[in-house]
Amino acid sequence: MKLTKQQKRNEKVLERLIAFSNDDSNCAKELAAALDDMLGDLCMDDFFGTETQMDPRGDGRDGHWTMYRVEGVDKK
Where along the chain do its domains lie?
Answer: 5-37
Can you give the pLDDT at residue 1?
87
Asked if 48 contacts 60 with a C-beta cutoff of 8 angstroms, the reply is: yes
Compute the distance between CA of residue 39 and CA of residue 44 in angstroms, rounded to an integer: 9
Q: Three-state DSSP class for 5?
A: helix
Q: Three-state DSSP class for 46?
A: coil
Give the pLDDT band (50/70/90) at residue 21.
Answer: very high
Compute the distance between CA of residue 17 and CA of residue 14 in angstroms, rounded to an integer: 5
Tell me the pLDDT of the chain averaged across its residues.
96
Q: What is the pLDDT of residues 46-59, one digit of tens each?
A: 999 999 999 999 99
